[in-house]
Chain A
Amino acid sequence: MAPTTVRARRASRFPHLLVLPAVLLLAAFVVAPGAYALLLSFQRRKVNGGLLGGGTHTVFAGLANYRDVFGDADLWSGVLRMLALGAITVPATVLFALLFAVLLDLEGTRLRRFTRLTIFLPYAVPGVIASLMWGFLYLPATSPIGGDRVDFFGRVAVYFSVGNVVVWGAVGFNMIVIYTALRALPPELHESARLDGAGEWQIVLRVKVPLVMPAVVMCPLFSTLAALQVFNEPNTLKPLSNAVTSTWVPLMAIYDEAFGNSDIHSAAATSVVLAAAALAVSFLTARLIQSRIQQEAQ
């Protein structure tokens, strides 16, 4: 009896050790800063008095910062713009990723490695660089793609221009996820489908896509999370036109509060609200996807 218990205990301690680095990193870089941000969000900075303030002190502000967050019309317009942008980028990323993955997986596709790398490459380009590059392509004076005839920074066009940079960067990664799943399918499946007389597109739509659905549904999850955090693209395109304001999307508003206006307390409150919303959205999306997969499995 005794040795078994010891071995079991030893065995049960080992997994804890394995997750320890991850837990420590999470605690140091997510939980601790998050807790500090929470603390900051209940505080406010006040000047000591007189015309020039004479230095500042920190006071407990209760929920005042949160009241400001919920009353900030600019922030909520930013949320709407973020949603509009997400409505473009999420479906476009998933559809293009699926399309490219399926095309690459087709029997007769040539230059497969090269094409795959080409589609994946933009993912390796940092968002700021990609945005600068596209910015030059959009601006009338420097545009080789008709920026002098089309206003890429028009009131509606700007959403597609920003969305395009996001999708351009994200498709490659999502494509690889789906493509890997496609390559993992046993070849007997479409061979037998072909023997049964199914055409290439029927195989794609009726056999391959349904089978890789668990991988495909991961893509909207990733893309939705990315959409909630969109910052680099609009922030880099901002100085190029009049289309993007400093509060265009919520993360830009937070950045401006923290580093433009040096108000880390408001920035912390907005961050906490946004983080809570992002957690809720990702939790719900994950649950939704899980139940879909279970349903399909049944």
Chain B
Amino acid sequence: MAVLLTAGLLLAASACGGGGSSDASGAKGGTGGGKGKVTLTFWDWDPNMDKVVARWNAGHPGIQVKLSNPAGGDQLVAKMITAHEAKNGPDIAKVEYQSLPALVSKGVVRDITGFTKDTVTRFDQATLRATVFQGKVYGVPQDVAPLMLFYRADLFRKYGLTVPTTWDQFAATARAVRAKAPTSWLTNFDAADPGWFTGLAQQAGADWWSADGDSWKVDIDGAPTRKVAAYWQGLVGAGAVAKNPSFSPQWNKQMNDGTLLAWISGAWAPAQLGGIAPATKGEWAVAPLPAWTAGDPTTGIWGGSATTVTSDSHHPAEAAQFASWLNTDDAAVTEQVKQINVYPAATSGRSLPVLQAAPAFFPNEPDFYAEVKKVAPAARSFPMWGPNVTVTFTGYTDAFSRALQSGGSFTGALGGMQTAAVADLEKLGFTVG
């Protein structure tokens, strides 16, 4: 019976969607293109985004933005899809780069090329690749998050460790930690969140998805990713890194009490560490991600989002205007750096005075944003994210968890991810070359 009820929930979910934009629909139906007040709804899960939106609302009495936070990340994507079915989605929504092609393919996100002619000139080409597909603009980039190495400066000093600059050194450091402090680890191999592993694959030169005309090329099981998987399998097999998942109570405690000495993470880490390991304020430092060949600055990315306009919005011009303001206006970007700790996607945003201050949790690192700025140009993403990233990400979590649990092969796990990704694309009706 509860199975039927589950089916009922599916029905309810697809029928009433995320709900929530009654004000917007009032505005949509009513004014009929007149000069009246426009109310836009904006779905975003950034803490303190309300302060940034308040700034816009104060300066734009004719276009009021109503912020709501129905869910974050992947859950918001699911909500956007169901709300689109029910035609009651928001006007504007924050979307992570890896989810954008999926939302475009489902017709949820709108082509805003016509409204963003000037806006796009404020970003570099590498950043725009995440939101511009086949010459059409589907979102305004909000932040970029190059993958970096965060480490406990105090504990590195205590154990006499030097910061690794190559992956060979990183492996040696991991073994040295085990020898010097048998209850500690340099880091953990996280099978739960695919973001960091994807970034490592990008650094190694992997193109999990790429476009060839109108067909997709999928290369998850290729040589670069296999190299990364084999490297970490070696560390896990030798007992040199811990293998419990990140973002769990266990991991928080390990990060807080110094059991873990380093974290490979995105540039947004300082904003997160305060919640993860509150006792470690001022103890962390940042370094570029270790390289495969000494001196190669290439890194990957973990996260990063765009502000998008939905296809259900009745005021796409105003919505696009807000999205552009949010991510290119100096005052708006400054506020976001201050409130949300984003590393701005806009080129001019990266030279804002606010970036000369240290993040609140890293008072010891006044050069933090200078470090990020140094590595950002060498941050390499895939040529394009596939339209079914969720399948691959779930596949990563399941296959690598299984491999860790029962001692299976990491490279074997990649084969399963590749097969599942291709099968799903074909099932959806995409052409796979």
Interface membership of B6, Cβ < 8 A: yes
Assuming A51-B215, A140-B250, A262-B78, is B3 touching A274 (CB within 8 A)? yes
B3 in complex: contacting residue of A40, A55, A275, CB < 8 Å? A275
- Please report the C-alpha to C-alpha distance between residue A140 and residue B252 in the assembled complex, in whole angstroms: 12
A278 in complex: contacting residue of B1, B74, B253, CB < 8 Å? B1
- Please report the C-alpha to C-alpha distance between residue A80 and residue B154 in the assembled complex, in whole angstroms: 49
A53 in complex: contacting residue of B74, B245, B428, CB < 8 Å? B428
Q: Which of A74, A135, A136, A271 has the most CB of B within 10 A?
A: A271
Interface membership of B169, Cβ < 8 A: no
- Please report the C-alpha to C-alpha distance between residue A243 and residue B430 in the assembled complex, in whole angstroms: 33
Interface membership of B124, Cβ < 8 A: no
Q: Which residue of A lies closest to B401 (CB)?
A: A242
Interface segment, B7-15, B23-31, B143-151, B285-293? B7-15
B430 close to A251 (CB less than 8 A): no
B10 close to A258 (CB less than 8 A): yes
A242 close to B5 (CB less than 8 A): no
A271 close to B405 (CB less than 8 A): no
Interface membership of B254, Cβ < 8 A: yes
Interface segment, A30-38, A94-102, A107-115, A163-171? A30-38
Which residues of chain B from 392 to 431 have a CB within 8 Å of any chain A CB? 394, 397-398, 400-402, 404-406, 424, 427-430
A245 close to B387 (CB less than 8 A): no
A46 close to B244 (CB less than 8 A): no
Interface segment, B103-111, B324-332, B336-344? B103-111
Min Cβ gap B141→A in Å is 18
- Please report the C-alpha to C-alpha distance between residue A142 and residue B248 in the assembled complex, in whole angstroms: 11
B253 close to A141 (CB less than 8 A): yes
Assuming A52-B133, A155-B405, is B6 touching A251 (CB within 8 A)? yes
Interface membership of B216, Cβ < 8 A: yes
- Please report the C-alpha to C-alpha distance between residue A53 and residue B103 in the assembled complex, in whole angstroms: 10
Min Cβ gap A241→B in Å is 7
B429 close to A46 (CB less than 8 A): yes
A52 in complex: contacting residue of B6, B213, B387, CB < 8 Å? B387
Interface membership of A29, Cβ < 8 A: yes
Interface membership of A219, Cβ < 8 A: no
Q: Which residue of B lies closest to A40 (CB)?
A: B10
Assuming A241-B245, A242-B405, A264-B10, is B133 touching A51 (CB within 8 A)? yes
Q: What are the interface flags for B93-112 relative to A under an 8 Å C-beta threshold, 1 for contact and 0 otherwise?
A: 00000000110111100000
Interface membership of B281, Cβ < 8 A: no
Interface membership of B192, Cβ < 8 A: yes
Which residues of chain A from 231 to 246 have a CB within 8 Å of any chain B CB? 239-246
Q: Which residue of A lies closest to B248 (CB)?
A: A240
Interface membership of B2, Cβ < 8 A: yes
Residues of chain A within 8 A (CB-CB) of B387 are 47, 52-53
Interface membership of B241, Cβ < 8 A: no
Interface membership of B247, Cβ < 8 A: yes
Interface membership of B134, Cβ < 8 A: yes
Q: Which of A45, A139, A140, A141 has the most CB of B within 10 A?
A: A141
B405 close to A30 (CB less than 8 A): no
Interface membership of A261, Cβ < 8 A: yes
- Please report the C-alpha to C-alpha distance between residue A256 and residue B429 in the assembled complex, in whole angstroms: 21
Interface membership of B279, Cβ < 8 A: no
- Please report the C-alpha to C-alpha distance between residue A45 and residue B253 in the assembled complex, in whole angstroms: 44
A229 close to B105 (CB less than 8 A): no
Which residues of chain A from 14 to 55 have a CB within 8 Å of any chain B CB? 29-30, 32-34, 36-37, 40, 44-47, 49-55
Q: Which residue of B lies closest to A226 (CB)?
A: B2
Which residues of chain B from 56 to 78 have a CB within 8 Å of any chain A CB? 74-75, 77-78
Q: What are the interface flags for B222-265 relative to A under an 8 Å C-beta threshold, 1 for contact and 0 otherwise?
A: 00000000000000000000011101111001100001000000
Min Cβ gap A124→B in Å is 19
Residues of chain B within 8 A (CB-CB) of A274 are 3
Min Cβ gap A279→B in Å is 8
Q: What are the interface flags for B32-73 relative to A under an 8 Å C-beta threshold, 1 for contact and 0 otherwise?
A: 000000000000000000000000000000000000000000
Q: Which residue of B lies closest to A158 (CB)?
A: B405
Interface membership of B391, Cβ < 8 A: yes
Q: Which residue of A lies closest to B82 (CB)?
A: A262
Interface membership of B214, Cβ < 8 A: yes
B250 in complex: contacting residue of A51, A141, A243, CB < 8 Å? A141
Q: Which of B8, B13, B14, B192 has the most CB of A within 10 A?
A: B8
Q: Which residue of B lies closest to A248 (CB)?
A: B398
B249 close to A56 (CB less than 8 A): no
Which residues of chain A from 196 to 242 have a CB within 8 Å of any chain B CB? 225, 228-229, 239-242
- Please report the C-alpha to C-alpha distance between residue A264 and residue B12 in the assembled complex, in whole angstroms: 12
A242 in complex: contacting residue of B4, B259, B404, CB < 8 Å? B404
Assuming A53-B387, A56-B106, is B245 touching A239 (CB within 8 A)? yes
A241 close to B244 (CB less than 8 A): yes
Q: Which residue of B lies closest to A64 (CB)?
A: B427
Q: Which residue of A lies closest to B4 (CB)?
A: A34
- Please report the C-alpha to C-alpha distance between residue A268 and residue B8 in the assembled complex, in whole angstroms: 10
A272 close to B390 (CB less than 8 A): no
A260 close to B405 (CB less than 8 A): no
Assuming A51-B216, A247-B398, is B405 touching A33 (CB within 8 A)? no
Residues of chain A within 8 A (CB-CB) of B250 are 139-142, 240
B191 close to A242 (CB less than 8 A): yes
29 CB-based A-B contacts, threshold 8 Å: A30-B4, A33-B12, A37-B4, A37-B10, A40-B10, A47-B387, A47-B428, A50-B214, A52-B105, A52-B134, A53-B428, A54-B105, A141-B253, A229-B2, A242-B243, A245-B401, A245-B402, A251-B3, A256-B394, A258-B13, A259-B75, A260-B78, A260-B390, A262-B77, A262-B78, A262-B102, A271-B7, A272-B7, A278-B1
- 10 A-B pairs with least C-beta separation: A33-B8, A53-B105, A37-B7, A55-B107, A275-B3, A46-B429, A242-B401, A141-B253, A245-B398, A139-B250
Which residue numbers of A lie inside 8 Å of B, CB to CB?
29-30, 32-34, 36-37, 40, 44-47, 49-56, 74, 135-136, 139-142, 155, 225, 228-229, 239-247, 251, 254-256, 258-262, 264, 267-268, 271-272, 274-275, 278
Which residue numbers of B lie inside 8 Å of A, CB to CB?
1-14, 74-75, 77-78, 81, 101-102, 104-107, 133-134, 191-192, 211, 213-216, 243-245, 247-250, 253-254, 259, 387-388, 390-391, 394, 397-398, 400-402, 404-406, 424, 427-430
